[in-house]
Amino acid sequence: MARAPHQRGGGPDLPEITITEVNLREALGKAKEISPKIATNLRRSLRAVGDDIIQEQRDILSGKLPGNARKTGKAIRRIKRKNGGSYLRTVNVYKAQSAKRSRSTGMRNKIKNSLKTRIVAGATRSGISIKADKGVGGVMVKGWNKKILRHPVFGSKDTYVSQFGQPYWWEPIKRGQLQARQKALAAIDDALKGKG
């Protein structure tokens, strides 16, 4: 069973920009019947609808480098359940501490280069998916999206440090979903009318 979008962290289960108004698979087939060139242009247009979202994600990754996270204590938070109840939970409290970095592995640039848009036109799901390819971006594609992460210090496998991450994934997708869906539907409509 597919997980909910907020639980996936950019996983392959469901597209982030779903298209239910038209069957994307059929629309691509009809565009190909009209002209293979129109089908190619439609695919190109559909991949381009995620460009604004990806650019916003890249802007976040290009921002100021977050510092180290020093644990300062614990706090008790009230967590609300979906069914209306609530419970208390103890959470760690962190304070930002400047990080003394003199070298870089280029990890954020690798993550930026790994972001791409993919068309999902299967039998059971259709839409446009924003992907971060681990083959290009490395294992930190998901780890860097966390609020706080632990990793070994450069040159030492025994010493670990807590560091703030840069949650870059979901907010740009939430803000850009509606506009991206509208662009995709307009591109499909144009292609089926023979434009493109």
12-58 confidence digits (pLDDT tens): 445 677 777 788 888 888 888 988 898 889 889 988 988 999 999 99
Domain with 114, as residue range(s), is 5-67+104-192
C-alpha span between 177 and 53 (Å, rounded): 8
Report residue 3's pLDDT band, with 50, 70 and 90 as the boundaries. very low
Output b/e per residue, 154-184; b: 16+ Cβ within 10 A: eeeeeeebebbbbebbbebbeebbeebbebb
Give 125-137 pLDDT, tens digit per residue.
778 888 888 888 7
Contact 117, 10 (CB under 8 A): no
How many C-beta neighbours within 10 Å does residue 39 have?
19
78 within domain boundaries: no
Q: Is the pLDDT of residue 89 over 80?
A: yes
Report residue 164's pLDDT band, with 50, 70 and 90 as the boundaries. confident
Contacts of 145 (CB under 8 A, 6+ apart): 9, 10, 165, 166, 167, 168, 169
Predicted TM-score (pTM) above 0.75: no
82 within domain boundaries: no
74 within domain boundaries: no
50 within domain boundaries: yes
97 within domain boundaries: no
C-alpha span between 63 and 178 (Å, rounded): 25
| Domain count within the chain | 1
Q: Is the pLDDT of residue 101 over 60?
A: yes
Contact 72, 94 (CB under 8 A): yes
